[in-house]
């Protein structure tokens, strides 16, 4: 099975096979967590589940580790949330991110790396935990801080699959940005806060060596709406460098949080290029 077909398979399982994965439906979240864990296991990884509590219920982050050989204490986290809001099956948001996470784990499974990469599927990111200490990624980032782990960076995969070749399909929070960035939504974005500028530049440089898919980078303060709208926010709160890889969500995808966010709306060929580029970034970081 080629990479695009595998990504399609994952998105279809999560969005169509399981469906909306909200904090209120722990059965569906559990099915998603088990599916993700099984995929990691099939690639040869040992899997752990990190439990945490929200409103009296237990949820689980799913963790797989590619342990480094020379400097295993040096850590890069790659993460994606597997929940959705209740109004959508969440193909792009965020089955596509989980598919990318699994695709990267598969690509790196037989590769020797000097440093450690940890793949984490986060249980809760959407409302009502959104941008709060109740986010699954916040629990995980805090656990890393408590253990004093040497986190060199975090890559958040948040909506990777919606692309458009139509002129004017890409929008921005400020009119001036229309002069600075493409107006056609045919690129992937790597974005983060100002403190993460060097980390973003390093990951983006490796990415661009591996693929011709257009990539745009931006490091900016939170006044740029959306710049910190996912799990990288949690890692920033603990002082870690972090970036989000995204198709820009509601600035491009008209199906955002809608019932129409379906597997057939995504471009799996270009998603595969995103994974290919990021795999190169992870390899260069892991042996750098």
Q: What is the pLDDT of residues 96-132, one digit of tens each?
A: 999 999 999 999 999 999 999 999 999 999 999 999 9
- pLDDT confidence tier of residue 266, bands split at 50, 70 and 90: very high
Alpha-carbon distance of 249 to 188, in angstroms, equals 11
β-strand partners of 154: 77, 242
Contact 100, 80 (CB under 8 A): yes
Answer yes or no: is pLDDT of 168 > 90. yes
- pLDDT confidence tier of residue 150, bands split at 50, 70 and 90: very high
Contact 157, 79 (CB under 8 A): yes
- The CATH code of the domain that includes 67 is 3.40.630.10
pTM of the predicted protein model: 0.98
Alpha-carbon distance of 122 to 231, in angstroms, equals 8
pLDDT for the residue numbered 1? 85
Q: What are the E-state strand segments in the chain?
A: 47-54, 57-66, 71-81, 115-122, 150-157, 188-192, 215-219, 242-246
Alpha-carbon distance of 61 to 7, in angstroms, equals 21
pLDDT tens digits, residue range 253-262? 999 999 999 9
Alpha-carbon distance of 116 to 112, in angstroms, equals 10
Domain count, the chain: 1
DSSP 131-170: TSTTSHHHHHHHHHHHTT-EEEEEEEE--------SBT--
Nearest to 236 by CA among 221, 224, 251: 221
| Tokens describing residue 22 | 């909200």
Q: What is the domain extent for residue 26?
A: 3-286
């Amino acid at each position: 099975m080629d990479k695009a077909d595998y990504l399609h398979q994952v998105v279809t399982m999560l969005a169509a096979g399981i469906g909306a994965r909200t904090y209120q439906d722990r059965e569906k979240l559990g099915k998603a967590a088990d599916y993700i864990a099984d995929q990691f296991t099939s690639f040869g990884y040992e899997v752990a589940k990190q439990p945490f509590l929200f409103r009296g219920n237990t949820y689980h982050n799913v963790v797989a580790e590619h342990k480094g050989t020379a400097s295993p204490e040096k850590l890069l986290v790659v993460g994606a949330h597997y929940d959705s809001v209740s109004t959508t099956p969440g193909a792009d948001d965020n089955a596509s991110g989980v598919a990318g996470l699994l695709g990267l784990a598969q690509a790196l499974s037989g590769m020797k790396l000097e440093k450690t990469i940890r793949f984490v599927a986060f249980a809760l990111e959407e409302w009502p935990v959104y941008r709060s200490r109740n986010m699954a990624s916040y629990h995980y980032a805090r656990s890393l801080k408590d253990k004093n782990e040497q986190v060199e960076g975090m890559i958040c995969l948040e909506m990777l699959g919606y692309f458009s070749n139509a002129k004017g399909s890409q929008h921005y929070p400020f009119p001036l940005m229309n002069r600075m960035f493409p107006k056609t939504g045919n690129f992937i974005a790597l974005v983060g806060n100002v403190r993460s500028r060097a980390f973003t530049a390093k990951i983006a440089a490796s990415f661009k060596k591996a693929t011709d898919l257009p990539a745009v980078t931006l490091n900016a303060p939170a006044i740029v709406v959306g710049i910190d709208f996912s799990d990288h926010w949690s890692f920033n709160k603990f002082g870690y460098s972090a970036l989000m890889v995204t198709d820009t969500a509601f600035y491009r995808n008209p199906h955002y949080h809608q019932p129409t966010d379906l597997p057939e709306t995504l471009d799996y060929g270009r998603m595969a290029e995103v994974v290919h580029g990021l795999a190169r970034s992870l390899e260069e970081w892991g042996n750098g």
